[in-house]
Amino acid sequence: MKHEEILHRCFRCGYCKLPSNYTDINCPAYQAFRFETYSPGGRMWLLRAWLNNEISNSRRFSEIMFSCATCGNCVEQCAFPNFKDLLLEAFAAGKEAFLDAGQVPAPVRDYLTKVQLHGNPYGKPGKKRPEWAADLDIPVYSDQDHLFFVDDVGAFDTRGQEIARSVAKMLQQAGISFGIGSGEEVSDGNDVHEMGETPLFEELAGKNIEAFNQKGVQKIITLSPHSLHAIKNYYPALGGNYQTAHYTQILAFSLGSLKFQSNGNNQRITFHDPCYLGRRNWDYQSPRMLLKALPDVHVLEMDRNQKNAFCCGGGGGNFFTDLLSAEADSPGRVRVREAAQTGAEILAVACPLCAGMLEDAVKVESLEGRLQVREITEIMAEYL
Amino acid sequence: MTEVIKRLKAIVGDRFVSAEPEERYLYSMDQGTMPPAEPDMVVMPGSTEEVSEIMRLANEYQVPVVPMGGGLVLSGLTRALKGGMILDMKRMNRITEVNPKSRYAVVEGGTSQGMLQAYLKKHHPELKHSMPDAPPIATLAGNVCIHGSGHLSVLGGFHSDMLTGMEVVLPTGEIVRTGSCSVSADWFGKAPLPDLSGLFMGWSGTTGIVTRLGIKLFPNYRHNDLLIFVTEDPRDMPDVIARLTSTQVAEDMTPWMTPKPEWARGFMHINIAYGAHSKEELTFKRNLLQISVKDYIDNKSGGFLPMPPPQKGRFMQLPSPDLARFADVRKGGGFEYVGAIMAIEHFPEAYQAGVRIAEKHDVSYSMGARIVGAGHAMMFFYAYAFNRADPEDMARAQHALEETNSAALDMGGIPWKAELPAQQKIIEKMAPETFALMNRIRHTLDPNHIMNPGNWERA
Ligand SMILES: Cc1cc2nc3c(=O)[nH]c(=O)nc-3n(C[C@H](O)[C@H](O)[C@H](O)COP(=O)(O)OP(=O)(O)OC[C@H]3O[C@@H](n4cnc5c(N)ncnc54)[C@H](O)[C@@H]3O)c2cc1C
Ligand code: SF4
Ligand code: SF4
């Protein structure tokens, strides 16, 4: 297994369970299940035990492995600089070994099968991908400055589509020149990659790279931070080199073109950092710049923010596979309770997956009257 | 066992009981050198009442119970030596009270050191508690139960001295309180009552399960500083420590000796942490500390190490991850230490014994101490790193640890949080009447002998 040489170096000290300010448990899988086995150190020791034939690759073991939300808190907090950067790669290699051994949780298998068959986990034909934009006046990419790449959730999930439309309108408002895909593109493959399904990831990335290159795409704006991560960090090794940015980054640069007016609401807003924009790609400021540019808005921070942000539980494919659902201890529920504690009335998000996870959590926690989950451009639109 | 598991699930909920191979494997061992011992199940209670029900059930079926907090003790004390269940207490992590005027906090038995630190920083920035250098997920209860020590130990002694009261579930399931909280709504201290808290400390989880405890808080200063005094002669150390502690200024004093980096080899360093409300007060305190060892500076046998602020900041981090990082010295994720509580005058021989043993066993070592109280005792530690993937390396560390335990006992010290073999050595040295009394008390508390069995028993 790749990176097996670091497994025994984990001291199981547990720095990785917490944020740097130690406020609360910050590994979503460990928060949900609480057994040491679900903590990052537990994963390291179990993988080593498996390679040493001390335990077998059971169904539960595979659930432990695939429940990792790939949020990167462990990489951020591990006390050991000499190998911490490899933790997530080791976990992905472990998952790959489980896939090779045919031992994966049923929801993971179903997710991967659908992506394999249809190019997306919704089982929809590719030509339906651009339908989210049907009622908008957006061109299919030809010679515009940017391709606006919308992930599976933005393309096929009802709420995701709303967010994609809102973002597209704001990009138009900011005068950004962009077009969208015409349906040849497929899933960005990020979560497939994080699940360790390397051949499928390469197939997906290959299709996208071919589609992008045929159209001469050079700059990409992504809706989802997950797409940002894959295209920016994994595609270059496969020959896909683009200038890639998340939509909040493009809008932060274009703030000068957006004129906001007070709407008298004096809203209290707290922002939930998406792991794949924040911890995995180190941008904590772009979304905050957008919120802080709005007149009379009070941006309140949760105890766990920026590099210490607590994941919504949707990463690593868990948005689709739901392996982290754990009653009151589910990461999304924990996170919306934390957001409500700040006194904010709006929980702002910048990722369609976070939106889905946290909106569900607000309902289950019966917080609807107190806390609304809104995507950032939806909030911005009210100030134009 | 199937029936026990079913009933445990009824008590704590299905999600918080596991008899699966993954949990049984992982909870069978800690990070130290002790061999694995597998539990039959792992249970995570959420309340005192649940713990009480679990204990009644465990008595009914005579199932051993091993309480565990962070599981970071390193000496194998949370292994299920006779099978049974491990109670992972970390779900019980609420901070139920902070009394800012009488300066104490009341926390549940699974509350971590890190979480209390964060809570105080946010809600009571004028207060702090004494942090051990253990990783921050270590629990207050686990640490108090082993007589731990930390960053305010010069000021307040062992962490068990900072205990102000406990709620404990006895092995038979009764819920008892010790200290003022057994009489009053306030958790201010153990006096003037008979100190029953002692029944649960130093016994390695063999006498009860701590479900709540009160712990003293101290002023959190706005200005903090660190001095490092260096001398080459270990024989000077007892006097240097006596002089520095006599100023009653330091919060924490930790001597350290290490062969690496090269510039540190052969020198005794003492980190002295102190704080003040104002800059003037800080300067005054620094002067007191410096004057106390002036003779050594004048005769050039000692001095203060100049230190750039970033390095100072690193030394002042609470807890310091540098200690955990020692586990990577052999690129192998392991270290364990003998921490021997002993009188301070034994410092020179303790140091020399450490160098001798490390060289004999060819192990990577680091030595140090934490001064406890105003020079009333010290915890002298000998840490040995090993490569977990190399059984021979691990065995070398284990032999070094065993020999160190014997050496510490020969010096009149007592191994702290002692592993099983060290417990045997202590029992051999202990006055027989004392050991007999321990056994009588234990039998009264735990008639079915189900609490962490195997520990504190004659082999
Ligand atoms: C890098 C490193 C640095 C360290 N530095 C320090 C230091 O500076 N000072 C220090 O004191 N220690 C130190 N330690 C030792 C140890 O990790 C700590 O003392 C730690 O606080 C132990 O707490 P825990 O929650 O991990 O206890 P555990 O290891 O879980 O348990 C310790 C003992 O207490 C019992 N126990 C645990 N919880 C309960 C409970 N609720 N009721 C009854 N019994 C219970 C267990 O059965 C066991 O016998 C260090 C360890 C490491 C790895
Ligand atoms: S992953 Fe790093 S921080 Fe986490 S337990 Fe292992 S060594 Fe410690
Ligand atoms: S990536 Fe996140 S969920 Fe996965 S082990 Fe690390 S901290 Fe836990």
Q: Is A69 in the pocket of ligand 3 (CB under 6 A)?
A: yes
Exposure string for B205-236, b = 16+ CB within 10 A, e = fewer: bbbbbbbbbbbbbbebbeeebbbbbebeebeb
Ligand nearest to the CA of A73: 3
The DSSP result for B100-123, as a single string, is TTTTEEEEETT-BHHHHHHHHHHH
CB A103, CB A49: distance < 8 Å: no
CB A69, CB A354: distance < 8 Å: no
Ligand 1, atom 19, residue with closest C-alpha: B143
Exposure string for A238-272, b = 16+ CB within 10 A, e = fewer: eebebebbbbbbbbbeeeeebebeeeeeebebbbb
**Alpha-carbon dihedral sign for residues B94, B96, B99, B103:** negative
Interface size A-B, in CB pairs within 8 Å, comes to: 111
Q: In this complex, do B118 and A327 lie within 8 Å of one another by their Cβ atoms? A: no
A265-275 average pLDDT score: 96
- Cα–Cα dist B369/B380, whole Å: 4
The strand pairing partners of B298, in sequence order, are none
Distance of CA A75 from the midpoint of ligand 3 (Å): 8
Q: How far apart are the first and last CA of chain B?
A: 27
Q: How far is CA A279 from CA A225, A272, B174, in A?
A: 11, 12, 47
Query: Residue A77's closest chain B neighbor by CA?
Result: B321
Q: In this complex, do B333 and A10 lie within 8 Å of one another by their Cβ atoms? A: yes
If we measure between CA atoms, which residue out of B213, B212, B210, B215 comes closest to residue B87?
A: B210
Q: Is B423 in the pocket of ligand 1 (CB under 6 A)?
A: no
- Cα–Cα dist B254/B270, whole Å: 5
**Alpha-carbon dihedral sign for residues B420, B424, B429, B430:** positive
If we measure between CA atoms, which residue out of B459, B379, B385 comes closest to residue B422?
A: B459
A80: nearest CB among B22, B27, B325: B325
Ligand 2, atom 6, residue with closest C-alpha: A10
pLDDT at A62: 97
Taking the CA of residue A42 and the nearest CA in chain B, the distance in Å comes to 7
For the segment A326-353, what is each residue's pLDDT rounded down to a tens digit? 999 999 999 999 999 999 999 999 999 9
Output the tens digit of pLDDT for each of chain B's 459 residues: 899 999 999 999 999 999 999 999 999 999 999 999 999 999 999 999 999 999 999 999 999 999 999 999 999 999 999 999 999 999 999 999 999 999 999 999 999 999 999 999 999 999 999 999 999 999 999 999 999 999 999 999 999 999 999 999 999 999 999 999 999 999 999 999 999 999 999 999 999 999 999 999 999 999 999 999 999 999 999 999 999 999 999 999 999 999 988 888 999 999 999 999 999 999 999 999 999 999 999 999 999 999 888 888 888 999 999 999 999 999 999 999 999 999 999 999 999 999 999 999 999 889 999 999 999 999 999 999 999 999 999 999 999 999 999 999 999 999 999 999 999 999 999 999 999 999 999 999 999 999 999 999 998
Q: How many helices (H) and strands (E) does chain B have?
A: 15, 19
Tokens of A329: 């201890």
- CB proximity B136 to A under 8 Å: yes
Q: Determine the atom of ligand 1 nearest the C-alpha atom of B113.
A: 21
B332 chain-A contacts, CB cut-off 8 A: 8-9
Tokens of B323: 């200690």
Distance of CA A43 from the midpoint of ligand 3 (Å): 10
**Alpha-carbon dihedral sign for residues B20, B23, B28, B33:** positive
The DSSP result for A111-136, as a single string, is HHHHHHHHSSTT---GGGGGGGGTTS
Distance of CA B204 from the midpoint of ligand 1 (Å): 10
B136: nearest CB among A8, A22, A83: A22
For the segment A131-170, what is each residue's pLDDT rounded down to a tens digit? 999 999 999 999 999 999 999 999 999 999 999 999 999 9
If we measure between CA atoms, which residue out of B135, B143, B148 comes closest to residue B322?
A: B135
Q: In this complex, do B44 and A35 lie within 8 Å of one another by their Cβ atoms? A: yes
If we measure between CA atoms, which residue out of B135, B156, B126, B159 comes closest to residue B145?
A: B159
Q: In this complex, do A8 and B18 lie within 8 Å of one another by their Cβ atoms? A: no
- Select the residue from A7, A10, A12 to test the B interface by mutation, using most B Cβ atoms within 10 A: A12
Neighbours of B237 (CB within 10 A): 25
The strand pairing partners of B214, in sequence order, are B106, B165
A58 chain-B contacts, CB cut-off 8 A: 20-22
Tokens of B354: 């450490």
If we measure between CA atoms, which residue out of A295, A376, A300, A370 comes closest to residue A337?
A: A370
Predicted ipTM of the assembly: 0.97
Q: Which long-range contacts (CB under 8 A, 24 or more apart) does B183-192 make?
A: B186/B99, B186/B102, B187/B97, B187/B99, B187/B104, B187/B106, B187/B214, B188/B99, B188/B102, B188/B104, B188/B164, B188/B214, B189/B164, B189/B165, B190/B163, B190/B164, B190/B165
Strands B223-231 and B209-216: unpaired
Ligand 3, atom 8, residue with closest C-alpha: A27
Q: Is B71 in the pocket of ligand 1 (CB under 6 A)?
A: yes
The amino acid at A44: M
A60-71 average pLDDT score: 98
Place of tokens 């942490």: B273
* Residue numbers of B between 193 and 212 with CB closer than 8 Å to A: none
Place of tokens 């565990």: B68
Query: Residue A37's closest chain B neighbor by CA?
Result: B23
Query: Residue B92's closest chain A neighbor by CA?
Result: A34
Q: In this complex, do A13 and B72 lie within 8 Å of one another by their Cβ atoms? A: yes
Exposure string for B327-363, b = 16+ CB within 10 A, e = fewer: bbbbbbbbbbbbbbbbebbbbebbbebbbebbeebeb
**Chain-centre distance of CA A152, in angstroms?**
12
pLDDT at B170: 98
Tokens of B144: 């108090």
CB neighbour list of residue A86: distance below 8 Å, 6 or more residues apart: A3, A6
- Cα–Cα dist B210/B191, whole Å: 19
- CB proximity B108 to A under 8 Å: no
Residue A79 has pLDDT above 90, yes or no: yes
B137 chain-A contacts, CB cut-off 8 A: 13-15, 17-18
- Select the residue from B17, B25, B107, B330 to test the A interface by mutation, using most A Cβ atoms within 10 A: B25
Q: How far apart are the first and last CA of chain A?
A: 53
For the segment A36-49, what is each residue's pLDDT rounded down to a tens digit? 999 999 999 999 99
The DSSP result for A228-260, as a single string, is HHIIIIISGGGT---EEEEHHHHHHHTGGG---
A64: nearest CB among B22, B112, B325: B22
Cis peptide bond upstream of B308, omega within 30: no
Query: Residue B325's closest chain A neighbor by CA?
Result: A80
Tokens of B285: 């305190």
CB B311, CB B234: distance < 8 Å: no
- CB proximity B44 to A under 8 Å: yes
**Chain-centre distance of CA B459, in angstroms?**
25
Q: In this complex, do A80 and B328 lie within 8 Å of one another by their Cβ atoms? A: yes
- CB proximity A11 to B under 8 Å: yes
Helix (H, G, I), strand (E, B) or coil at A324: coil
